[in-house]
Structures are given as structure tokens and as C-alpha cells.
Amino acid sequence: MLNWKEVLKYADNGNPEPDRRVEKSDSEWKEQLTDEQFQVARRHGTERPFTGEHCESFDPGIYGCVCCGETLFDANEKFESGTGWPSFTQPAKLNAIKYKVDRSFGMTRVETLCNVCDAHLGHVFPDGPDPTGLRYCMNSAALKKLEEA
């Protein structure tokens, strides 16, 4: 189980190797994704809070990357953070997420990306519930429901 110290270590020193890699051109991604999905996942955008389709859903299932389909989160780790974005306490597996220090907008945070295709997912913060203390604050537009748990 990851904790904040390990997340920072990955962000500063390199991430776990992914199981596979998916690389496409912008034009290939644009053909596959909606405009909003492309803006969020490929251009590091952020959807408006409380607008995403996965924000208020707590049904069982697995969430994957909207770009490559990689398994990212289990709905059992989802919680109501009150932020307006889907939030999880940990990824489905250690090497699903890539961590990158983000110093945009005058602050320092840790960006989360799909470790398989580099899609922007959101950010992770050290203010989540036990047992991890982590809050993976994700954009609904970067996620797709893969299956029921």
C-alpha cells in the first residue's frame, strides 16, 4: 500500500515500469476521444468540479484509462471527498500510475498520469482517509468504467 512518502519518491526519482506502453500521435488520440477527453487527458486540462459522470457514482466496478484502457482504480477505494472530482485512496496496482511534480499555477503538487500512455488523470494529495492518507483526485473525463467488480 502506497503512502505520501513513496509517492514523492516516485515523483522525484522515477516511476515503476508499466506492464506495457501505448503511444499514439495527437491525430490518432483525437480520432478516439471526445473533445473534452482529449483536452483533459492529452492536454492536461481539468474538468469543472461536480460535472463529471463518475463524480457521484459509487457503484462497484473497475475504472480504467479513457485512452488505453489500463486498469487504474477499483471502486472499492473510491470515497466522497467533497471536492467535485472522483477520489480514490489508492491505485488498483502499484505500477498503474506515473507521478510527476507539477509546479503550475503557483503551487507544488503531484500530477498523476496513466503509466501506460501518459494520459493526464489528475493529482494526488496527502489529505485522504486512512489507511493510505492519499486522495487521488481524478478527472471523470480521463476515466472509463471497465467492468463490475
Active site residues: 137
pLDDT of 148: 58
Is the bond preceding 49 in cis, omega lying within 30 degrees of 0?
no
**pLDDT tens per residue, range 8-66:** 999 999 999 999 999 999 999 999 999 999 999 999 999 999 999 998 888 889 999 99
pLDDT of 42: 98
**pLDDT tens per residue, range 63-117:** 999 999 999 999 999 999 999 999 999 999 999 999 999 777 787 789 999 999 9
- Name the DSSP class of 15: P
CB 19 within 8 Å of CB 92: no
In this predicted structure, the answer to whether residue 149 has a pLDDT above a threshold of 70 is no
CB 47 within 8 Å of CB 139: yes
Q: Spelled out in words, what is the top-level CATH class assigned to the domain 4-147? A: mainly beta
Domain boundaries defined on the chain: 4-147
CB 85 within 8 Å of CB 97: no
Cell of 57: 457514482
